[in-house]
Amino acid sequence: MKIERVCVVGGGTMGNGIAHVFAQKGYSVTLVEAKQELGDKALATIARNMDRQVAKGALTAADKDAALARLKTATTIAEAKGFEFAVEAVPERLDIKSAVFAELSKHGAPGAILATNTSSIPIGEIAKSAADPSRVIGMHFMNPVPVMKLVEIIRAKATSDATTEMTRALTESLGKIPAVANDFPGFVSNRVLMPMLNEAIECLREGVSTKEDIDTIMKLGMAHPMGPIQLADYIGLDVCLAIMEVLDKGFGGVKYKPSPLLREMVAAGKLGVKTGAGFYEYPKK
Ligand code: CAA
């Protein structure tokens, strides 16, 4: 099956980045958002991020215009009817994702592949709502999507070899590098990353060091592009907490216990960059 038409469900940080790269690489994309204003906001973000690429010489103005012309928004999945590939990037709740997969199953072309960008919900659970779980797979993009090279591909037990191979090839066509993991809690990326961020937050809570020095130690000492406290703010502290809870539930034991300070920050509504404050302040520009 040749993949030309792609449906992206959800236009938030991850969804707009995913729609951006598919459109940039020549796919016809329908971006589905619950309300037209949200779809318009996602399109404006994509245009702004493409402008950054144009300013850096990574994209020509003509290619930007062509990419935006391949991108349309819709408020229902039915309007994207006939897509060969879908990526779901709605909020991290199984009930919401299940409803999306049931709907996607009705409107795809025969044989369409349904991917989820979930960072923590088991792919096998989401696949239960699809008509054919062998065509369901995890396609976990990293933030910021237009910049990060990795796509973690997650196979559930029912995912077929053909689905995995098509998703791998599609990932490469986006100029990204696929790496495959099986459907365990947190997959590989978040099972390794989140305990490190959580431990950095514990260092702060216990007074081992200041947030600035924790970040400097990991940035300059381990050549990470961002320090762990800064990265937790960037990902969203609510997302970090939700992933730690999935690891804690899945594996138990001390090493996956969410930091009490992380819980406090989330309870206080300080979620990081997206709310204007987390461990650091992010004044509106
Ligand atoms: N769209 C397009 N381009 C973007 C962009 C976006 N949304 N965000 C940044 N860029 C571009 C910039 O234009 C710039 O381009 P050039 O290299 O051509 O100059 C480049 O990316 C670097 O950006 P900046 O100069 O603004 O800033 P920076 O050098 O500090 O880099 C960063 C920013 C890329 C975010 C870098 O700090 C970084 O790599 N941080 C770590 C990010 C990370 O770990 N992501 C994974 C998070 S985990 C996850 O996503 C999964 C999960 O489930 C939680």
Protein residue whose Cα sits closest to atom 16 of ligand 1:
56
Cα separation values, 227 from 10, 112, 214, 264, Å: 29, 40, 7, 20
Q: Which atom of ligand 1 is nearest to the CA of 235?
A: 54
Fold classification of 191-275 is: N-(1-d-carboxylethyl)-l-norvaline Dehydrogenase; domain 2 (1.10.1040)
Q: What's the pTM?
A: 0.95
Which structure tokens are listed for 206?
A: 């216990």
- pLDDT on residue 284: 81
- pLDDT on residue 145: 97
User: Which residue numbers in the chain have pLDDT < 70?
Assistant: none
Alpha-carbon torsion, ordered 189, 51, 65, 80, to 10 deg: 40
Pocket test for ligand 1, best of 13, 147, 229 (most atoms within 8 A of CB): 147
Protein residue whose Cα sits closest to atom 45 of ligand 1:
143
- pLDDT on residue 104: 98
Cα separation values, 124 from 105, 158, 162, 203, Å: 15, 7, 17, 35
Q: Which residue has the tokens 């559930």?
A: 156
- pLDDT on residue 37: 97
Q: Is the distance from CB of 190 to CB of 120 less than 8 angstroms? A: yes
- pLDDT on residue 253: 87
In the chain, ranges of CATH 1.10.1040.10 domains: 191-275
Q: How many helices (H) and strands (E) does the chain have?
A: 11, 8
* CATH classification (class only), 5-182: alpha beta
- pLDDT on residue 60: 96
